[in-house]
């Protein structure tokens, strides 16, 4: 098998894994949080990186700005996020995680710990460290490419 075919297989497997995690999330959190997996990802990225522009958040989650707007509008209505237009450019919208958003992340992480561990408990500590190293390398390369342009 050539490298391109292997890369295609790995990316297909990764998408399937994410789809399964998302489905399991939906099943295990139904009625609990009133929060979808993509909405949780928005909260979590903002927790990790701090306030971001809509376009930056879209890039971080590989979504379109309109998709981010749809996700964040509900999170603003729930009191988890705050949106503010930039003073110097009214077209730019900055998104900030608020205290209720931090609290929701804590609650979800505590409740979802078993579900997430179920996906990764078959891996050794060494395998998990390899995944972290590989994903970090790939993400830092993506970040570098995004900041070139």
**Of 115 and 68, which is predicted with more confidence?**
68
As a whole number of angstroms, the distance between CA 96 and CA 114 comes to 29
Quote the pLDDT of residue 90.
Answer: 78
Q: Which residues pair with 84 in a beta bridge?
A: 94
Q: Which range marks the domain in which residue 53 is found?
A: 3-148
**Of 21 and 128, which is predicted with more confidence?**
128
Asked if 110 and 23 touch (Cβ cutoff 8 Å), the reply is: no
Helices marked H in the chain: 3-29, 37-49, 54-60, 65-77, 99-120, 125-148
Please state whether beta strands 81-85 and 93-97 pair in parallel, antiparallel, or not at all (unpaired). antiparallel
Cβ burial of 37 (10 Å; 0-12, 13-18, 19+) is middle
Quote the pLDDT of residue 134.
Answer: 92
pTM of the model: 0.68
Cβ burial of 43 (10 Å; 0-12, 13-18, 19+) is buried
For the segment 127-133, the average pLDDT, to the nearest whole number, is 93
Two tokens, residue 139: 């993400």
User: How do residues 5-17 score in pLDDT, each as one tens digit?
Assistant: 999 999 999 899 8
User: How do residues 74-116 score in pLDDT, each as one tens digit?
Assistant: 999 999 999 998 888 878 889 999 999 999 999 888 877 888 8
- CA distances to 64, 80, 120, 131 from 127, rounded to whole Å, are 32, 34, 10, 6
Read off the CATH number of the domain in which 99 is found.
1.10.10.10
- The set of residues, in sequence order, having a beta carbon less than 8 Å from that of 93 and lying 6+ positions away, is 53, 54, 83, 84, 85, 86
Domain count across the chain: 1
Strand ranges of the sheet holding 93-97, from the earlier edge strand across to the other edge: 52-53, 93-97, 81-85
């Amino acid at each position: 098998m050539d490298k391109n075919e292997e890369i295609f297989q790995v990316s297909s497997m990764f998408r399937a894994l994410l789809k399964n995690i998302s489905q399991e999330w939906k099943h295990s959190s139904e009625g609990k949080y009133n929060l979808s997996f993509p909405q949780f990802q928005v909260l979590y990225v903002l927790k990790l990186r701090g306030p971001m522009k809509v376009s930056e958040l879209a890039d971080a989650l590989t979504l379109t700005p309109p998709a981010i707007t749809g996700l964040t509008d509900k999170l603003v209505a729930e009191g988890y996020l705050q949106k503010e237009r930039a003073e110097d450019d009214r077209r730019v919208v900055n998104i900030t995680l608020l205290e209720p958003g931090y609290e929701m992340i804590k609650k979800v992480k505590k409740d979802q710990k078993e579900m997430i561990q179920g996906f990764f408990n078959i891996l050794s500590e060494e395998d998990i460290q390899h995944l972290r190293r590989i994903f970090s390398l790939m993400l830092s390369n993506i970040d570098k490419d995004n900041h070139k342009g």
